[in-house]
Amino acid sequence: SMTATFILGYAGIIFEENFGFDKSGVALLMSTALWVIFAGTAGASGVAIPEAIATLGDKMQEVSEVVYFLLGAMTIVEIVDSHQGFKVVTDAIDAKDKRGLLWTIGLLTFFMSAILDNLTTTIVMVSLMKKLLADDEDRKIFGAMIVIAANAGGAWTPIGDVTTTMLWINGQISAVPTMISLLLPSLISTLLSIGLLQNEFPPNMPVPPPPSTTTELAPRGRLVFGTGILGLLSVPVFKAVTGLPPYMGMLSALGVIWSLTDVIHAGEEREELKAPAALKKIDTSGVLFFLGILLSVGAMDAAGLLKQLAINLDSVVSDNTIIASVIGAVSAIIDNVPLVAATMSMYDINDVPIDSELWQLIAFCAGT
């Protein structure tokens, strides 16, 4: 019954546009239904027993670490964006032809995504691209390149992509070995893609002059930008120095930039530049989707279904490269968050140790 519930719920998520449902609501309903089934069947009377409730508490603790990490990161980025802080980066772009602009934006997207999350980087770079290019066909090519570069850039750092973040927070990978292992393959995938896409433009095809814009940095925008970036970069350092979970480092970085904006805008009637306004703009429904999905996968893991799936998969395919490649291919169709969450539960950390080839490959393949 749990398997059937998961398949039914996931079908609702995949075909959300056809059914008119939001995937976040479906994920939350699915997670609740799965835990009701698990807890009810754990006791002979059909009522949740203390062991089942304790298991739910353990899973909720694991999931909450990811949720609080995402909330902190998204709020920091929104605060920087509200101050037009990303103009510091985008104003530095100076390309004369479209091929050069493609390479400049592609590499800038790649490295920005390693610091910010890839969704935010995509939004920022697409907004920039729309200001630079008026032709719809040009925008499609640049948009495709931005998506590829943002995903690849996010895959090689623990704070760049939610799937890599999940693996990092749950202890399957560590920061420095992952960055060393995945930087080169992630960069190669980006360079090859840009090299292919540049053929869509003739050599030396000039970039039309952008329309004039009146958007300016907010007061102390550079200070807020620098503080936000340093805060995001400090999270792996915080974990290494204190030994505390990454979400504590992210929340401390949020506390710093929150207090900073309160100080620099004290007495001003510009509430849109402060943290509470940023909290209203973050993708809360996306965070709740992660919560529902991760709790659903936790229920499947608690019931032993994912472990059985791993045993069956290993009996058919034992090569890590093939397993990770299949996960990567499927993630092009199905959301990579539940795929990676399920994989994390399928393989025990004692059998597949931290920073092993399988975890690195999953981070790369699911991300790109």
- Burial code (b: 16+ CB inside 10 Å, e: under 16) for 129-153 equals beebbeeeebbebbbebbbbbbbbb
CA angle, corner 65, sides to 64 and 69, nearest 5? 110
DSSP letter at 96 equals S
Cα dihedral: 229, 256, 65, 287 (round 10): -70
DSSP letter at 198 equals G
Place of tokens 């992630």: 186
What element of type H or E holds 236?
helix 221-242
Torsional class of 243: left (φ above 0), alpha (ψ -120 to 50), beta (otherwise)? left
Tokens of 316: 């058919």
CA dist 176 and 168 (Å) reads 11
Q: Which residues fall within 8 angstroms of residue 287, CB to CB, at 6 or more apart?
A: 67, 70, 71, 74
Amino acid code (one letter) for 168? W
CA dist 41 and 61 (Å) reads 22
Handedness of CA 65, 66, 72, 73 (dihedral sign): positive
Per-residue pLDDT of the chain in tens (368 residues, 90 and over written 9): 999 999 999 888 888 778 788 889 999 999 999 999 988 876 655 556 888 888 899 889 888 888 898 888 889 988 988 888 877 776 777 777 889 889 999 999 999 889 877 877 887 788 778 777 888 888 999 999 999 999 999 999 988 888 898 899 888 999 899 999 999 999 999 999 999 999 999 888 887 766 555 466 677 888 998 998 899 888 888 888 898 888 899 999 999 999 999 999 888 878 888 889 999 888 888 889 989 988 998 888 888 887 777 777 777 887 888 888 988 888 887 777 777 888 888 888 888 899 999 999 999 999 99
DSSP letter at 368 equals -
